[in-house]
Amino acid sequence: MSKTTGLIEPKNHYQILDGLRGVAALLVVAFHIMEAFADGNRFKQIINHGYLAVDFFFLLSGFVVAYAYDDRWAKMSVWDFYKRRIIRLQPMLIAGTIIGAVLFYFQASEVFALIAQTPLWQMLLVMLVGFTLIPLPVSMDIRGWQEMHPLNGPAWSLFFEYIANILYALVIRKFSKKALAVFVLLAACLLIHYTVMGPRGDVIGGWSLNGDQLNIGFTRMLYPFFAGVLLSRMDKLIHIKGAFMICSLIVAIVLCMPRIGDEQHLWMNGLYESLVIIVVFPVVIAIGAGGTLNGFYANKLCRLLGDISYPIYITHYPLIYLYTAWVVSHKVPITMGLAVGSLLLIVAVTIAYACLKWYDEPMREWLKTKWLKTKKGQG
């Protein structure tokens, strides 16, 4: 029987994991709102470890990808897998980039000095390149933050997500459990070496196209994504009552934890982040995947959180650019900033939900009918 490019019967979702992804996405927005008051100082950041949500997303993604596709390679090709991942991820990336382009010139301020000097044609060129997720070199920066995707900063993590998916489909999926365990162990050592022995004591970074930032990006992606794959293959889930509430609380605590140690003891914070990524996050996912939801409203809440998690993450940052420019330029006090930031969170959720229902879901269905047509097998 030949391989088919047809639709593959979907598996059941881990609804608690969907909900946890939404919780983490909301905390990312809150982290970025409060980041405007830190003056670029990682020691002063409020919701200090909110950036670890990206590492949590990588681990979740690896777990879910392995669960969804590990036993389906007899029925699909590598290109079939890529098409499914593109259908899932690319439409909302384009939406986030368009929103970033629409709001770009409204963000002009002392914080983003390059915006006022950027001609329209250059911004539109950056938008078109952004649709493809091809990273831009620092020389093409149009904002001043040296982002590989200057219209929508968080797209950097999606760039590494795609690399992880390519590595999984081409090589890692063929690894035995032992080989994968060795690979994951080496990736953990790389992560510990960078966080504990490195120059910053944290994993902040990954969004610029230069050697230092690419090193951070790969270090952040390799362990959690493929640890998620290994965790799925091990199938050692933890079954406890109240799994969603317990896991949500753990995620909130570790992301909101204040910075540990000072500038003379960077290793302390690095050790904390390594423990969270290497130990705490896998345990949370094992509990979430092993838990069950009781009641109509709990199921509905987790489904909603899961549905809007990716749209929120990939569309909220253009609003953050606006907000940060306003806070810094007008020296906004934190009390007023919190009030406006709360409104921003509501607007971000509204935009994400609207994009999901009016654009993302219809577009994905259309792409499925165009790209994933059934072919009759022979033999």
Q: What is the mean pLDDT of residues 332-354?
A: 97
pLDDT attached to residue 77: 93
**Residue 114 lies in domain:** 15-371
Q: What is the mean pLDDT of residues 232-251?
A: 96
pLDDT attached to residue 9: 61
Axis-axis angle for helices 281-290, 15-35 (nearest 10): 140
What does residue 287 show for φ and ψ, rounded to 5 degrees?
-70, -45
User: Which among 372, 273, 247 is positioned nearest to 48, based on CA atoms?
Assistant: 273
Q: What is the mean pLDDT of residues 247-261?
A: 97
Answer yes or no: is 190 within a domain.
yes
Mean pLDDT is lowest, of 12-16, 198-202, 237-241, 357-361, for 12-16
Total domains, the chain: 1
3-state secondary structure of 7: coil
Answer yes or no: is 85 within a domain.
yes
Answer yes or no: is 284 within a domain.
yes
Answer yes or no: is 184 within a domain.
yes
Q: What is the mean pLDDT of residues 332-343?
A: 96
Give the Cα-Cα-Cα angle 268, 272, 275 (nearest 5 degrees): 135
Answer yes or no: is 6 within a domain.
no
pLDDT attached to residue 89: 97
pLDDT band at 8 (very low <50, low <70, confident <90, very high): low
The model's pLDDT over 107-156, given as tens digits with 9 standing for 90+, comes to: 999 999 999 999 999 999 999 999 999 999 999 999 999 999 999 999 99
Answer yes or no: is 178 within a domain.
yes
Answer yes or no: is 2 within a domain.
no
Mean pLDDT is lowest, of 158-162, 284-288, 315-319, 370-374, for 370-374
* The pLDDT of residue 4 is above 60: no
pLDDT attached to residue 373: 67
Percent of the chain residues past pLDDT 90, beyond the cut: 92
- In angstroms, the Cα distances linking 353 to 25, 117, 140, 346 are 13, 34, 32, 11
Answer yes or no: is 378 within a domain.
no
**Quick count: other Cβ atoms within 10 Å of Cβ 346?**
10
The model's pLDDT over 62-79, given as tens digits with 9 standing for 90+, comes to: 999 999 999 999 989 999
pLDDT attached to residue 376: 41
Note the pTM of the prediction, 2 decimals.
Answer: 0.95
DSSP 47-83: STTTTHHHHHHHHHHHHHHHHHHTT-TTS--HHHHHH
pLDDT attached to residue 3: 47
The model's pLDDT over 150-184, given as tens digits with 9 standing for 90+, comes to: 999 999 999 999 999 999 999 999 999 999 999 99
Q: What is the mean pLDDT of residues 9-32?
A: 91
The model's pLDDT over 30-42, given as tens digits with 9 standing for 90+, comes to: 999 999 999 889 9
